[in-house]
Amino acid sequence: MSATPHRHALVIGASRGLGLVLTDELARRGWRVTATTRRDGGDLQAHADAWKGRLRVESLEMTSSGQLAALRERLDGCRLDLLFVNAAVDRGDLPIDEVSTDMFTEVMITNALSPLRVLESLRELVAPGGTVAVMSSDQGSISRNTEDGYELYKASKAALNQLMRSYATRHADDGRTKLLIDPGHNRTRLGGPDAPLAPQESIPAVVDVLEAQAGAPGLQFLDRHGETVPW
């Protein structure tokens, strides 16, 4: 993305982990950032206070269509250069035959359905030439699924990728860059304490990719180095 001032990003799911570090990195680079959290207060609000107006906090439970509609109304008239959806849950390492229907539904709604609902609801706020991006994972890559474990999480990310492909096909001519981002395995509540990467290492590279790919046509599935992740 260009180095012009007043770039505006909306980050969905920024209360902690990768999303929180992403908002800080964007603000550090001079972006104005609106970031959402499910609960008032907490680390995100403390960071917003520290950024003195550059970071604005909005409330959103992403799985709630009513809250999403209310957010869209509150943001009416905003012009976004970046819409980034970062939200996911993981309910443990169970073989698929031990996954309850309720657990399957929860993970699929949160990780696959809700991000696309967000994009459809908010896409018109993104300026022509702006970027629509979703945090994915190489665990959503079918061709890389060669090790046991985390079957439901992998399936949810593969479903997210497929839905994003459909979104990109349907909106092929809207003039916006579309990205799926694999940030690597990070030490977050989701990634666990033994993951090899810290968000403070991976997220600056992710933002480098976001800025470098601005204006690129079509949908790309990229890692934090800007390399293509196989579907």
**Span 50-100, pLDDT tens digits:** 998 899 999 999 999 999 999 999 999 999 999 999 978 888 889 999 999
The conformation of residue 8, written as its DSSP 8-state character, comes to: E
pLDDT bin (cut points 50, 70, 90) of residue 188 is: low
CATH entry 3.40.50.970 includes domain 8-223:
no
pLDDT in tens, 111-160: 999 999 999 999 999 999 999 999 999 999 999 999 999 999 999 999 99
One DSSP character per residue, 118-179 reads HHHHHGGGEEEEEEEEEE--GGG-STT--S-S-HHHHHHHHHHHHHHHHHHHHTTTS--EEE
Please compute the mean of the pLDDT values over residues 183-201 and round it to a whole number: 78
Mean pLDDT of 176-191: 85
The strands making up 32-37's β-sheet, listed across from edge to edge, are 55-59, 32-37, 8-12, 80-85, 126-135, 177-182, 219-223
Is the alpha carbon torsion for 92, 98, 103, 109 positive or negative?
A: positive
Region 169-189 average pLDDT: 90
| Tokens 């550059």, residue located | 54
Q: Determine the angle formed by the axes of helices 65-74 and 114-122, rounding to 10 degrees.
A: 30
Domain locations in the chain? 8-223
pLDDT digits (tens, 9 = 90+) for 23-62: 999 999 999 999 999 887 789 999 999 998 899 999 999 9
What pTM, to 2 d.p., does this model score?
A: 0.94
pLDDT at 3 over 50: no
Mark 105-141 as b/e (b = at least 16 C-beta within 10 Å). Answer: ebbbebbbbbbbbbbeebbebbbeebbbbbbbbbbbb
